[in-house]
Chains A and B, each alone.
Chain A
Amino acid sequence: MNKLSEEKKVKEETGSKVSAEASAHLDKEFKEHSVAEFFKKNKQMIGLYGKVRTLTMVVHEYVTNSLDACEETGILPNIDVKIDELGEEYYEVTVTDNGPGITQENVGKAFGKLLAGTKFHRMMQSRGQQGIGAAGCTMLSQMTTGKPTKIITGKEGKKPIALEMVIDPRQNEPKLSNLKELDKDFRGTSVQAKFKGVLYRDSDQGALEYLRRTAIANPHVQISFRDPMGQKFVFKRTHNALPERPVEIKPHPKGTTVDDILTYCKTTKGRTVATFLTNDFDRMGAKGIEEIKKKVHFDLNKDPKTLTWEEAEELIKAFKSIDFIAPSTDALRPIGEDQIRKSLQSIVQPEFLTVLTRKASVYSGGYPFQVEIAIAYGGGAGKKVGDQTSMDIMRFANRVPLLFDTGNCALTKAVQTVDWKRYDIKDPETAPVTVFVNFISVHIPYTGAGKQAIADEEEVLEEIRLALMQTGRKAGIYIAHKRREAENQQKRLMFYKYIPEVCKALSTITKANEGGLKEKMEKMVLARLKIDEAKEAEERARTEKTIKEDDNSFVTKPKEEKKAKEEKKK
């Protein structure tokens, strides 16, 4: 060994000594820092940045909790949300549901213990926690106001209880106070918490828009909302049955990471790696095991609990080189064309609507997914800012509205890359169009911890584009027809407005009776328009036939027409 490498060795030794000391210190630090403390210091990592966004996230957490509780116990959810302004950037949020209620034992777990959820690492379609959970809200409330979160909850046939809660950040444990039984009938849960440094806005990213979209993607839910100005909004239930519960499926080998394997093998019932793989993975048969056996350098009969990181890596490498059957798509639960149509008609109230639920597909080889698209035109469709109406893109992941990070999202990109001119939408910036996109999967490929944008998976983009084209064609037929109708209307008015001047001039020259000329010219215009209208009617019949042949599109008759008909009847 030469001098240089000897020196290096010394350096390395001292280096490792130092780092050992440091890590011992760090370990101690870590023990003292609980999850709650971590949360306190890293709010922005979980999407809690931006004053408006934070308030919307709080509403989202409570509403998601309520929806999950109701759906898991077979109750059609009624959710009531109130936001009150208490001071500058100081608000109180109250969310009340008609859910099953929570026992005293579980209340702390639900609202007072961070990361207590059961939803992690499950391969099933779920709303998913978007970051902080209801306990995160309790934490945020006490951090910004020093005030406890108030909860009232009642189970069927029992007296409801009221209590106040804070979290001890060191222990990540809830501390309950003012616990009392109420002498009234109430089933459900009501949570009330105060927040500072947040802001309510009636904008694209505000709580109202969040709730409106939640109602659209969840037609079985009824939501009422009172904003800080005292305005009330009700989004009515349009479907009287709960969605089918999603089922949990085994992970597909192609969609698995090294870390997943090491997590799963801790809890498997399989005694050998071979049985672990066969039992715990989708599409893993004897043939697959045979192939894996040839490709790895360890015995597949070993106890899965003793798998090392390197061995798990070998497994993943083997998975990649083997052709597995695509994962089963049975676990996906789309909203359904009928229900999307009903809720959009009720909430957006467009003039024309077309809906499409595509067949399930697979991305990255291992994750089943499905896309639902609706295009709404006219009426209440589109994003209205002042006098301007522009295309509104409503993004959803497993029925949860995505309001933020619009530009980074694959769903947005898919919509924006469609050549809308082909569907008679000349400029999306001025079109009264709402595009609804629901992306459903057991695993949503979010781009970040904020969970507001979906990554550019090629198969996903392609599916959405196909669905947009399919629906776009139908919308285009309708829009083109509408445009022609509007043009004809304009034509009528245009001829009429020039008649008086022409008649006046001609009668000045010829002394012909001005009134008589006017009458005749109007008659002449009407006769011409009748011919045009006949042509139009023919065309309309064709259009309607095309749309009718397709069950997924729907035209709402303008109100004036209905009124006129009613008057005629009288």
Chain B
Amino acid sequence: MNVIIMASKEKGKSKTVEKVSPKEIADRIKKTAESMVGQINKLQDPEFTTMQRGKSNVVWDENKGYLELGEKEVTRTFLNIAHARKFMQTSMIMAKTREYLEHNKTASIREIYYELKHTVADTKENTFEGQDESDPIIVDLEHSVDTIREKLNLHANPKGTLYGDITLLDRMHHNDKFNASKLGRGGWSIMSRVEPEEIEIVDSNAEYLLVCETEAIFERLIEEGYPKQNKCILIGTGGQAARGARRLIHRVHNELDLPTIVFTDGDPYGWYIYSVIKQGSMALAAHSEFMSVPNAKYVGMTLDDIKEYKLESVTERMTDGDVKRAKEMLAYPWFQNKEWQDQLKKALDMKVRIEQQALANKRLDFVATQYLPEKIRNKTFLP
């Protein structure tokens, strides 16, 4: 795959991203705006510069173990037929997020869309026709002022659940202190913003963090008392992990120094969920540094489990989408180790997938009493 360059170059981005204050971010936005005003005063075409995103500017850093954004920049100018509208939208998002930072307000990315949406004077056109227009502009701004969405006081819809013996402190809500094993079977809904200045991780007695893809397995494990018996914290991502969930996984792993084990369906989609948690995603390559967990391990499902646990009768056929995904993944540089190449080739060969819940074919508690404890004890992991 030629678009992704193997690189280990140290990037200019500071480790201090996490410690940047809202004031500092607001000032960066102001500086950008002042530069534009300066250009306009000189009757020059105003510019907005951000990082180029997408495959062509994503770099796999083997040493760090995660995906990074390359150094290609894109410049958007007003006097360009293809850019003018986006330039307008960018200036609006800049003004609005700076206002949030100054007034200590946070908003969902849907709220900022609605707050800025109106008809452009003397036209039949809206400033934003849909949230699909404002979302990419927000990402542009994140990259332009070298921060993350959360630092712009913006957040996406929350997704993911936390359960287990871990104590958190919510600074934004009466300094509530709570243990995630004492919130009932439902656990704690992971917020989309879990930055340290809002949510503090106080302590934990757990020995490892188990992340699982489906909410159904999450609930099964709680019903079987698995977290308590195995001294683990449980995070359910409900499919692809959202920003908040990834950020929390990263923080739990680093701040509590806990091993992270991921458990997904045995198909290309599930494996990619693992890869995003471990190495970051192409879309958010710039944020891998504080979202990824390069030391994470994969426990299952693997295609070898089918034979090992005699699950031949409960496999499913791979869809065309699965096949396409598997072929793409075969070529990704961060899938070039022997174990994953074997697993993907096996998938393309057998054309079957195996779900987490297929383990219920043995017994409902099989996953909690035998499959996971055995595999984790024996360290039967994929890297």
A interface with B by C-beta (< 8 Å):
491, 494-495, 497-498, 500-502, 504-506, 508-510, 512, 517, 520-521, 523-525, 527-528
Contact = CB atoms under 8 A, between A and B. Distances in A.
A501 B94 CA distance: 12
Contacts of B29: 509
Contact of A524 (B33, B43, B120): B43
B52 interface: no
Interface in B111-131: 120-123, 125, 127
Contacts of A508: 95, 98-99
B98 A498 contact: no
A502 B78 contact: yes
A486 to B, nearest CB: 13
A492 to B, nearest CB: 11
A502 B127 CA distance: 11
Nearest to A493: B123
B289 to A, nearest CB: 28
B88 A501 contact: yes
B37 A498 contact: no
B37 A517 contact: yes
B217 interface: no
Contacts of A491: 81
Contact of A528 (B33, B79, B99): B79
Contacts of B123: 497
Nearest to B123: A497
Contact of B44 (A497, A498, A512, A524): A524
B101 to A, nearest CB: 11
B43 A506 contact: no
Interface string B338-368: 0000000000000000000000000000000
A520 B40 contact: yes
A509 B98 contact: yes
Residue of A498, A501, A509 with most chain B CB atoms under a 10 A cut-off: A509
A512 B94 CA distance: 15
Given A491-B81, A494-B81, A495-B79, A505 B91 contact: yes
Contacts of A502: 46, 78, 87-88, 91
Given A517-B40, A521-B40, A495 B78 contact: yes
A524 B47 CA distance: 13
B79 A494 contact: no
A506 B78 CA distance: 13
B39 to A, nearest CB: 9
A501 B84 contact: no
Nearest to A517: B40
Contact of B120 (A497, A509, A512, A527): A497
B257 interface: no
Majority secondary structure of chain A interface residues (helix, strand, loop or mixed)? helix
A527 B79 CA distance: 11
B91 A524 contact: no
B107 interface: no
Interface string B56-92: 0000000000000000000000110100110110011
8 contacts: A495-B79, A495-B84, A498-B85, A502-B88, A505-B88, A505-B92, A510-B37, A517-B40
B304 interface: no
A509 B79 contact: no
B84 A524 contact: no
B198 interface: no
Contact of B125 (A497, A500, A512, A525): A497
Interface in B270-298: none
B229 interface: no
Contact of B88 (A498, A509, A520): A498
Residue of A495, A506, A520 with most chain B CB atoms under a 10 A cut-off: A506
Given A495-B78, A517-B40, A520-B40, A510 B87 contact: no
A525 B79 contact: yes
Given A502-B88, A524-B79, 15 more contacts: A491-B81, A497-B122, A498-B78, A500-B120, A500-B121, A501-B88, A505-B33, A505-B91, A505-B92, A508-B99, A509-B95, A510-B33, A520-B43, A525-B79, A527-B43
Nearest to A529: B79
Contact of A506 (B33, B45, B122, B125): B33
Contacts of B99: 508
A520 to B, nearest CB: 5
Interface string B20-42: 00000000011001101100110
B125 A509 contact: no
Given A491-B81, A497-B125, A509-B94, A524 B45 contact: yes
A520 B45 CA distance: 11
Contacts of B43: 520, 523-524, 527
B37 A512 contact: yes
B91 A501 contact: yes
A512 B30 CA distance: 11
Contacts of B79: 495, 524-525, 528
A509 B40 CA distance: 15
Contact of B127 (A501, A512, A521): A501
A132 B40 CA distance: 77
Nearest to B34: A510
B41 A520 contact: yes
A497 B85 CA distance: 9
Contacts of B46: 502
Contacts of B34: 509-510
Residue of B88, B125, B127 with most chain A CB atoms under a 10 A cut-off: B88
Nearest to A496: B122
A343 to B, nearest CB: 41
B47 to A, nearest CB: 13
B79 to A, nearest CB: 5
